[in-house]
Amino acid sequence: MIEEKAHVDINHYDIDMLVDEREFENAYFDRVGQEIFFVFHEELLEELKLKPICVNQDIKQIEDHEYYELRVTSFITTSLMNWLVEKAHLIQIIAPQELREEVVYRATVALERNDYGYSIMTLENPIND
């Protein structure tokens, strides 16, 4: 009988660092950090303080209004993109322009697909026959 041995060469990774940098998640713009700037309604303030986009985010109230501005340098991950689209009705993205265009595109597609004037399927072929 021949004894089998296995050797696995695994690179060392600091799991906490990878999670902090969201390395497990896809990112846009070739994973280059982006200078993100947007204005948001106060309804999102507590959420952004409890779950910041990144540790270096800076939030300032705009005069005495219910709107705030947020500036942060961060990767734009899939979850961040999804969150921005989900909260698009409470956010106005100022920069980067490419991010603004992508969020507008996604929101527009969602609106068109859910508008009664446009449908993927005809009413004669409902999803749940």
Burial class of residue 89 in the structure, from the number of CB atoms within 10 Å of its CB (0-12 exposed, 13-18 middle, 19+ buried)? exposed
pTM over 0.85: no
- Identify the pLDDT of residue 12: 66
| CA dist., res. 101 & res. 44, Å (int) | 21
- Identify the pLDDT of residue 38: 96
Name the pLDDT band for 111 (thresholds 50, 70, 90). confident
Q: How much is the average pLDDT of 22-45? A: 84
More confident residue, 112 or 37: 37
Q: Where do we find the tokens 């390395």?
A: 23
Rg of the chain (C-alpha set): 21
115: tokens are 């508008």
- Identify the pLDDT of residue 129: 47
| CA dist., res. 32 & res. 69, Å (int) | 22
| CA dist., res. 44 & res. 69, Å (int) | 11
Number of residues that this document lists for the chain = 129
Domain 15-114 of CATH type 3.30.1380: no
- Identify the pLDDT of residue 99: 94
Indicate whether 23 pLDDT > 80. no
Sequence ranges of the domains in the chain:
15-114
Residue 46 near residue 78, CB atoms below 8 Å: no
pLDDT 10s digits, 50-107: 999 988 999 999 988 899 999 999 988 889 999 999 999 999 999 999 999 999 999 9
